[in-house]
Structure 1
Amino acid sequence: MRHICSLIAMVSQLEEQSVRFDFYQEIRRRKPERQILKHDVRLPRHYFDYLIHSGVLEVETDAPYQPGKTMPASIGMNIRSLGGNVLFDMCFAPQTYKLWQNTDASIEDLSLPADIFEEYVYRLGAISRFRYLGRIDDPVTATKLGENDMIEFKRDFLYSKTGIIKSIVAFANSNNGNLFLGITDEGTVCGIDHEIEQYGDPDKYILAITQYIQDKTSPFVTPFPKISLKKIDGKTVVAIFVEASSDLICGLDKNNEKYVVIRTNNRSVIVKDPHQIGEIYVKRKLGSEISRRLGLL
């Protein structure tokens, strides 16, 4: 099957274990159009060869290039922003389960039209996830937007622990999300300074939140939520950014029994239907688009 789009590597240096090249995208319609994606990329040769064997990469070099034997590889598209164009990182690892935890190599800050990006995801059998998409660092901006599918407020940590875990698990299983502690459901900033005083200092307080998330989720949430403290009018707010995970994440109740949560509109909903849980698992492992194309959803 002839594809209208291909990735092009103009090789500048061949080494025993790696290849150095300029990275292009070429669209062949009436007149071929080529655009630079990234200058001076270095990639381990077995991943470079994997792209060739996958049929997405063509090589331009002075002497004919002979790829080596196919070696196991998994490719992930780490999406930074969406729109007419998709900004993303292309990540490589030897096995799928190591993709986000132990990325061997990456090509960062690539940009492609959304339809072309989807085509490469499909042809590579790649897993896609969102990186920082929808991240809101400013609590004031969050209060103006109000609670939605990517924003949730909790008054505190000590008395909202169960709700915090539900929200984190829901964001990890559904989409990136922002959880703020020290803001009421109505969007009023009340702060958590009194809780910091109980722990003695901010570092111990952050450590307590981190430890609680680790203890009450399974498997280990990867990537782990980013936790930071923000000041608004002299009051301290905790900002927790949760990235969608490639694994199905479960919360643990008081008896350490597992439960699954997803995000629906502005609510975190516990899921009990085994079929629905299976769909979530498939999406986490393969990505929504690949799952649909394979007829699994």
Structure 2
Amino acid sequence: MKEYCFGIDVGGTTVKMGLFRVDGELLEKWEIPSRTENEGKAILPDIAEAVQKKLEERGIEKDSVTGIGIGVPGPINAEGIVPHTANLGWGYKEVTRELTELTGLVSKGGNDANVAALGEMWKGAAAGHKSGVMVTLGTGVGGGIIIDGKIITGANGAGGEIGHIHVEDAVDWNCGCGNQGCLEQLASANGMVTLAKWMIRQGADTKGTTLQPETMTAKDIWDAVKADDAFAKDVAERFGKYLGLALANVASTVDPEVFVIGGGVSKAGPVILEYIKKYYLKYTFRGCRGAKFVLATLGNDAGMYGSAKLVLEQ
């Protein structure tokens, strides 16, 4: 009888690892370093070694383990193949095949943002819903789309790349993807700061603001919003417009029950939802106006939960 599974969330600095029961109970979590040198050759062997040690430590037989789910930054297709992942040093890599060979356990892979969305749908803020979209507002803007409990990955593993929806024609600097005017450039943690500085260059009224352009962070901006700083509130309005517009476009395509907002920027709390939903309701198709907006609850554990769910669903 299969009683356990592993959920693995691979990041550029650390690998978050979780041992789960098949009902979703997290028994233990820990981290190991992501050794990205030498094209990341040690990452999967390190994961395999950590899994084996945990099994031995707890006296768990491999026959009772469903498998290993693994989330990675960047596109990964249904066969578990990564074409390229800069943060890890990987070029073309058959991730799940290699991990299975190293561990003797079935493995299944997914994009980190997608599996985080799956985790929130399973055991987090969107539990009980079958269709939802998670938006992760961190260094960039990540996205994951879950329809009828299944991740929408797309033909090339790029489904849910919400951060690269075009939202602004006037942007004249490049996004990391090479395009201009992407949501990620204006609504991520870094993007909010960039947006504020751009507004200042455009002649925005900053009289009385407490924000210091040279040192401000997204947290500073939201703290100033809560303190009724007029300029900060103008920045929040633009942020809400861009994100609300992008999510309205997503809703018209997939019609989700719920939007889950996560990542570092979401720590600003419910105030962030007010600005997003205001513009979402302005731009969205009438039939999609009933979508709920909630803040993520699993935090950095979402990827582990989603990866575990991924392997349980095969």
More relative contact order, 1 or 2 (CA 8 Å, 6+ apart) = 2
> Which structure has greater strand proportion?
1
Would the TM-score normalized by the shorter structure come out above 0.5?
no
Specify the structure having the higher radius of gyration (Cα): 1
> Which structure has greater helix proportion?
2
TM-score, normalising length from structure 2?
0.30
